[in-house]
Amino acid sequence: MVDVRGEHSGAFLRLRQLWTRRCHFSLVLAMVDNPDYRDALMARLDAVQPGARIDLTPADAPAVWLQQGEAQCAQGLRRLHVCLPLDARHGDPWWQQANTLRERLADAMPTLQVVWLSQADVDTAAHQAPDLWNWREAVLDFTAWVIQPERTAGLPDPTKAISVGTEAAALTERLAQIEDFLARQAQLPDPDERPSAHLLLEAARAHRQLGQWEQSTAAAQRAADLFAACGDAAHAAQAKAEETQILRLTGSLDQALTVLTQDVLPVYERLGDVRSKAITLGLIADILQARGQFDEALRIYREEELPVYERLGDACSLLRGRTNMARLLMERGTKQDQSEAAHLLSQAYQAARDMQLPEADQIAALHLARFGRPIARTGDAAG
Amino acid sequence: MTEPSIWSYQDNFDFRRDIDPDSPFHYPLEEHRGKYSRSKMLTAFHLDGSGRLRPGAKPKDAEAVLFGGHIGCGKSTELRDYAQLLQQTYTVHHMELTKTLDINNLRFSDLLIALVHALMRTFEDAQLSLRPEPVFLNPVLNWFDTRIVKQERFKDIEGEIKAEVKAQGGIPLLASLLATMTAKVRGGASYREELRREVRDGFLQLLGHFNALIAHANALLKHQSRGPLLFIMDGTDKLSKDDANAFFQADVNQLGQIMTNLIVCAPISVLLESGITAQRFTKAQLPMVKIFEADGTPREQDEDALIGLVLKRMPLRCFDERETVRLLVQKSGGHVRDLLRLIRACFSLLDGEQITRTVAEQAVQEVASEYRRLVQQSDWADLVAIDQSQGEEKDRTEARLRLLYDLVLLEYNNYWWCSHPLVRTLRPYQNALQKARADG
């Protein structure tokens, strides 16, 4: 069975909890960009508790969702996968219709529904189906596999897939050690605040990975406060940025954007830390992309993020930034975008191969899935 | 009693010799480098001129300084002086990388290993008896265990660690592992690049844990009324120009993500190049001993200081007269290592028991000829133009940065350039000067 990628382990744990515990109407939106990976995640859930599956084609109206769902529920199933097409984006009218059908969808299917859909569809749903959107239990992201280094800093290597169960046990044990240290510190008249802040930041990441979002937010906030009290503005900003990860995961995109632009970015600007600033701008671009503001997100990639990595000679961040930008272009999807995306992926792939990074395989897989042909290697044309 | 022969002093001019603040050869030059002052560096660490914490100030815990200057201008000696001043307030690790790493093939991963190793030595220091909490130490240990020890391709590293050290685990194991890794990298083990790649690629996973461990170490030191950690990295200025560009444009930014006090030695070209090199680092520069003004007027008291430096190593009776020493000082351009080089050249030309003016002039010719190969034909006219501008000409072109790196062009405080006095004795320079005068 395909492993859950490291960076998705938290989201998957949360999904598994919902899958096993919900027995009334619950709508979970699961963003995914690879049908094979989606099927693998579904199989993992079905191994825990079996669920039914309905596949909607681009031509199917929202009413088909209702009809097929009703039919499945009539057979007594309590869990449902609803697979929307990943290679075609539903237009505004489709989601407007879905919005008007929401009451019937809920009445006819008093069960957990995991809707597997593209990021583009999530964006449209948020804007065109506001009432349905407000009924969402969670929005889980199973797409973003290659992101800025700081997002994975301190986490288990995302390139080496680890079984969720093993990883969860290790993280839980680590959290217990951290909690023990913090509890002992709390008894001291003059506790060591800065080391504690570092551990709290680590705990925030671990809780996020475990899908424990409230604990993650609380730990990140405590870390940010402690770092600020120690006068460590850079780490305080890092902790604030960690807070926004949960805001993003829970769909509070506006709030995440506010924190990044008002509490994080100005700190790095003041400190003259161009690299951290570029990484933060990348996070902002991600959120803009999720809100469908493709042009602004692209501008940030093009003018503010990638040029910094180029100037710093940070080849690793550059290839990851290029890959992210390619994903955005593929999502926007004009003919010119496709060509530029292919070029960016090719550059990123070459750099990853040169550095012998495992991302090379992932970029090749992304290219193959999107363009239906293997990525060109330097020198292939001559051959 | 007969006086020692001049030949007994020859080794005193070996410029590879380390000069500590308490060495008999130590000669304070701080006052003779123009407007250079140690206060920039010391203030960055909240210290006064004697190395004491300024009233009301707290020690820094993540200050980073890039300390640069011409190769051989006295940076290492100055850094040893700084180390002595700084250790009154900080827990200083003076890392002389030329002794532990392969400076001709240095990568960021090597420095990271050296830093972790230095931290482990702090924990091993019996006088300090620091006992780090496993919650901070274990993630770092686990990282090395997963990345290195358990990898089949690096199995001989584990094989070289003694069984009893393995059994002890913890700090002794990690210290031993890091010492072995350093030896493997320096010795050019067949898997050296793989080892470096493994360390480099996993750096971001280690970074958070390492920063936490440093913060914890600082807290433990504070409980013992000791100052926070401060790492002085000497030797990184000795990288080749290409390696230096690569290192100081990319690798040093990774180094800057490690939140501790750092002083990193850098070649002068890195300090002068614009751009965003090492944005976390404050830059401090050690200029030449300023033995003349930009218009060429000699500064006798500064010449006398360098004469004093020479006479600490060999008595005046070994020269025919004091003015012979002055000639060598003037031709050195205030560059300490070149002054030592000139005297060594005198020894190689010497028959008798005294360095005479004739011998000194021959030595000047000989050392000057070594500079000939560093200057390209197109450089001569530019060197003359710079000298004739009397300090006004200082546009940073690529060619000039190369000349600065190669010591053909020297920088003085307060920031003007002129060509090395030895270079000015060369015929192509004289030809270019004549042409400039004729054209002018």
Q: Which among B116, B118, B107, B146 has a CA at the least distance from the CA of B210?
A: B116
Helix axis angle for B192-201 and B203-223, nearest 10°, is 70
Please give the DSSP secondary-structure letter assigned to residue A138: E
The highest-confidence range among A142-146, B114-118, B270-274, by mean pLDDT, is: B114-118
The SS3 of residue A216 is helix
Q: What is the pLDDT of residues A186-196, one digit of tens each?
A: 999 888 899 99
Higher pLDDT, A257 or A367: A257
Predicted structure pTM score: 0.74
| Alpha-carbon gap: B219 to the closest alpha carbon of chain A (Å) | 6
In this structure, are residues B429 and B374 in contact, taking their beta carbons and an 8 Å threshold? Answer: no
Pairing of the two strands B416-419 and B409-412: antiparallel
Lowest mean pLDDT among A58-72, B38-52, B189-203, B407-421: B189-203
* Backbone φ, ψ for residue A27 (5° rounding): -110, 115
User: Using one digit for the tens of pLDDT, what is the confidence trace for B203-220?
Assistant: 878 889 999 999 999 999
Closest Cα in chain B, distance from residue A53 (Å): 38
Whole-number pLDDT of residue B236: 84
Q: Select the residue of A155, A181, A357 nearest B133 (Cβ to Cβ).
A: A181
CA distance A312 to chain B (A): 6
When pLDDT is averaged across residues A232-236 and rounded to a whole number, the result is: 92
A157 closest CB neighbour out of B197, B205, B216? B205
Give the dihedral sign, CA B316/B318/B319/B320: positive
Decide if B215 and A178 are in contact by the 8 Å CB cutoff.
no
User: Per-residue pLDDT for A167 more than 90?
Assistant: no
Confidence of residue B283 (pLDDT cuts 50, 70, 90): confident
Please, are residues B27 and B90 in contact by the beta-carbon 8 Å criterion? no
CB contact under 8 A, A181 and B246: no
Cα separation of B137 and B216, whole Å?
A: 9
Distance from A193 to chain B by nearest Cα, in Å? 9
Q: What's the confidence (pLDDT) of residue A160?
A: 32
Per-residue pLDDT band for A335 (boundaries 50, 70, 90) equals confident
Tokens of B383: 């060197």
C-alpha–C-alpha distance, residues A150 and A153, integer Å: 5
Tell me: pLDDT of B161 over 60: yes
Residue in chain A lying closest to B275 (CA): A311
Asked if the Cβ–Cβ distance from B135 to A199 is below 8 Å, we say yes
Q: Which of A195, A232, A273 sits opposite B280 (nearest CB)?
A: A273
Out of B62, B135, B276, name the one closest to residue A311 (CB).
B276
- How far is residue B355's CA from residue B309's CA, in Å, rounded to a whole number? 16
Chain A residues whose beta carbon lies within 8 Å of the beta carbon of residue B61: 194
Crossing angle for the helix pair B203-223 and B108-124, to the nearest 10 degrees: 30
Confidence of residue A180 (pLDDT cuts 50, 70, 90): very high
Q: Do B219 and A192 touch (CB under 8 A)?
A: yes
| Largest pairwise CA distance in chain B | 80
* Closest Cα in chain B to A230: B61
| Contact criterion met (CB below 8 Å) for B260 and B61 | yes
Indicate if the pLDDT at residue B260 is higher than 90: yes
Cα four-point dihedral sign B77, B82, B88, B92 = negative
| Through-space distance between the first and last CA atoms of chain B, rounded to whole angstroms | 61
Average pLDDT rounded to a whole number, residues A13-42: 83
B207:A156 CB<8 A: no
Cα A82 from chain centre: 20
Rounded to the nearest angstrom, the minimum Cα separation between B268 and chain A is 19
* A303 has pLDDT over 90: yes
* Cβ-defined contact of A357 to B212 (cutoff 8 Å): no
CA A350 to each of CA A297, A375, B8, B404, B418: distance values in angstroms, whole numbers, following the listed order: 24, 10, 61, 36, 45
Quickly list H helices, B187-332: 192-201, 203-223, 241-246, 252-256, 268-272, 300-311, 322-332
Q: Residue B202: its chain A contacts at CB < 8 A?
A: 157
Residue indicated by tokens 């990319």:
B250
**Residue A244 confidence (pLDDT) above 50:** yes
Asked whether residue B276 carries a pLDDT value surpassing 60, the answer given is no
Q: Which of B38, B63, B34 is nearest to B49 (CA)?
A: B38
Residue of B nearest to A192 (CA): B219
Pair B109, B204: CB distance under 8 Å: no
The predicted pLDDT at position B301 comes to 95
pLDDT at A139 over 80: no
- Angle A239-A240-A243 (CA atoms, 0-180°, nearest 5)? 90
Instruction: Provide the mean pLDDT of chain B.
Output: 88
Beta carbons of B61 and A194 less than 8 Å apart: yes
pLDDT band at A158 (very low <50, low <70, confident <90, very high): very low
Mutate to test the interface with A, among B279, B282, B283 (most CBs of A within 10 A): B279
Best to test chain A binding among B135, B198, B200, B249 (most A CBs inside 10 Å): B135
Written as one string, the DSSP assignment of A71-127 is HHHHTT--EEEEE--SSS---HHHHHHHHHTHHHHHHH--SEEEEEE-HHHHHHHHH
Biggest CA pair distance of chain A: 71
Chain-chain contact of A194 with B133 (C-beta, under 8 angstroms) = no
Confidence of residue B275 (pLDDT cuts 50, 70, 90): low
Q: How far is CA A311 from CA A282, A308, B143, B402, in A?
A: 16, 5, 30, 21
Res. B405: pLDDT tops 90: no
Quote the pLDDT of residue A131.
72
Decide if pLDDT at A3 tops 80: no
Which residues is A80 bridged to in the sheet?
Answer: A52, A113
- How many A-B residue pairs are in contact by the CB < 8 A criterion? 78
Closest CA of chain B from A253, distance in Å: 26
The answer to whether A194 contacts B215, with C-beta atoms less than 8 Å apart, is yes
What DSSP designation does A3 have?
P
Confidence band for B408, pLDDT divided at 50, 70 and 90:
very high
Contact in structure between A224 and A232 (CB atoms under 8 Å): no
Minimal Cα distance from A157: which residue of B?
A: B205
- For residue B219, give the chain A residue with the closest CA: A192
Q: Provide, as residue numbers in chain A, all residues whose Cβ is less than 8 Å from the Cβ of B279.
A: 272-275
For residue B336 the two structure tokens come to: 């300490």
Q: Do A152 and B204 touch (CB under 8 A)?
A: yes
Closest residue to A274, CB basis, from B136, B208, B276? B276
With CA atoms as reference, report the closest residue to B263 among B68, B13, B104.
B68
Of the two residues B134 and A5, the one the predictor is more confident about is B134
Listed residue (A91, A69, A71, A70) closest to A82, CA to CA:
A69
Shortest Cα distance, chain A CAs vs residue B89, angstroms: 19
Averaged pLDDT of chain A: 82
Handedness of CA A280, A282, A286, A288 (dihedral sign): positive
**Cβ B135–A149 below 8 Å, yes or no?**
no
Total residues belonging to chain B: 440
Q: Which residues sit opposite B91 in a β-bridge?
A: B229
Which residue blocks in chain A are alpha helix, DSSP H? 9-21, 35-48, 62-74, 92-100, 102-108, 119-128, 130-134, 149-152, 164-186, 193-209, 213-229, 233-249, 253-259, 265-271, 274-290, 294-299, 306-312, 315-332, 335-354, 359-371
Q: Looking at residue B20, what is its pLDDT?
A: 85
For residue A93, what are its two tokens? 């009218």
**Average pLDDT value for residue range B150-170:** 84
CA–centroid distance for B317 within its chain: 33
Our CA-based measurement puts residue B307 at a distance from the nearest CA of chain A, in whole angstroms, of 44
Which residues in chain B are contacts of A153 at CB distance < 8 A?
204-205, 207-208
Provide the 10 A C-beta neighbour count for residue A88. Answer: 13
Of A154, A272, A275, the CB nearest to B205: A154
Residue B50, CB-side half-sphere exposure with 13 Å CA sphere: 4
Q: Quote the minimal CA–CA distance from A360 to chain B in Å.
A: 14
Confidence grade of residue B250 (pLDDT, cut at 50, 70, 90): low
What integer is the mean pLDDT of B16-23?
Answer: 82
Name the nearest CA neighbour of B91 among B226, B198, B207, B1.
Answer: B226
Give the model's confidence band at B323: pLDDT under 50 very low, under 70 low, under 90 confident, else very high: very high
CA distance A187 to A273: 36
* Euclidean distance between CA atoms A138 and A30, whole angstroms: 8
Q: Average pLDDT, stretch A267-287?
A: 89
Sort out which chain A residues have CB atoms less than 8 A from B139's CB and list them: 174
Contact check, Cβ <8 Å, A201/B208: yes
Burial of B433 (0-12, 13-18, 19+ CB in 10 A): middle
Strand, helix or coil at A179?
helix
In contact, B415 and B288? CB cutoff 8 Å: no
Q: How far is CA B321 from CA A126, B352, B356, in A?
A: 90, 15, 8
Which residue on chain A is closest to B253 by alpha carbon? A312
Smallest Cβ–Cβ distance between B135 and the set A149, A177, A312 belongs to A177
- Give pLDDT, residue A157: 33
pLDDT tens across B27-73, in order? 989 889 988 889 889 999 999 989 999 999 999 999 999 898 888 88
What is the C-alpha to C-alpha distance for residues A12 and A208, in angstroms, rounded to an integer? 11
The string of DSSP codes covering B97-134 is HHHHS-GGG--HHHHHHHHHHHHHHHHH-TTT-----H
Provide mean pLDDT across the span A260-279.
Answer: 90
Q: Give Cα B91 distance to the centre of its chain.
A: 20
CB contact under 8 A, A312 and B276: yes
Backbone angles phi and psi of B283, in degrees to 5? -105, 135
Candidate from A173-177, A281-285, B399-403 with smallest mean pLDDT: B399-403
pLDDT band at A153 (very low <50, low <70, confident <90, very high): very low
Token representation of residue B128: 């300090």
Q: If interface means Cβ-Cβ distance under 8 Å, which residues of chain A face chain B?
A: 149-150, 152-157, 174, 177-178, 180-181, 192, 194-195, 197-199, 201-202, 232, 234-235, 272-275, 308, 311-315, 355-357
Q: What is the least distance, in Å, from the CA of A184 to any CA of chain B?
A: 12
Q: Which two tokens stand for residue B137?
A: 């130490």
Distance from CA of A177 to the nearest CA of B (A): 6
User: Which of the 8 DSSP states describes residue B146?
Assistant: I
CA-based nearest residue to B59, from B90, B82, B84: B90
The separation between the first and the last C-alpha atoms of chain A, rounded to the nearest angstrom, is 37
pLDDT score at B129: 82
